[in-house]
Amino acid sequence: QVPLVESGGGLVQAGGSLKLSCASTGRTFSQYAMGWFRQAPGAERELVAACSGSGFSTHYADSVKGRFTISRDNAKNTVYLQMNSLKREDTAVYYCAAASFSALLGYEMRRDPLDAWGQGTLVTVSS
């Protein structure tokens, strides 16, 4: 188990940027792939981005590709989500999660339990 805590959410105007952080207090952070999910009111939780334990492999949802960037700093036990050119439809609660890379990518289809979830941080994009 890897405890996770997100931060960095807030209110931003369309076209603006935010950077989310997810910090782990565990001791095996680099052994886990990490993902960012989001859930809007009344919607299913969807995968936004994921990266392997080393950070070498990444995946992005089509809706955010070219605008969002996932990265990690294993020395700081932290994964980041840089969000640029934000749109109103990006408004959601954003969660980080730890699991295998394949489990993260397959979550929307299978909904298998992941190893750990953060508490969520709200991103609101105004227009």
pLDDT tens column, 94-119: 999 999 999 999 999 999 999 999 99
**pLDDT band, residue 25 (cuts 50/70/90):** confident
Predicted local distance difference test score (pLDDT) of residue 1: 61
- CA–CA dist 83, 67 (Å, integer): 6
Mean pLDDT of 77-82: 97
Check: CB of residue 2 under 8 Å from CB of residue 26: yes
User: Which residues have C-beta within 8 Å of that of residue 9, sequence separation ≥ 6?
Assistant: 18, 20, 93, 94, 121, 122, 123
Check: CB of residue 33 under 8 Å from CB of residue 99: yes
Phi, psi angle pair for 57, to nearest 5°: -100, 135
Mean pLDDT of 75-98: 97
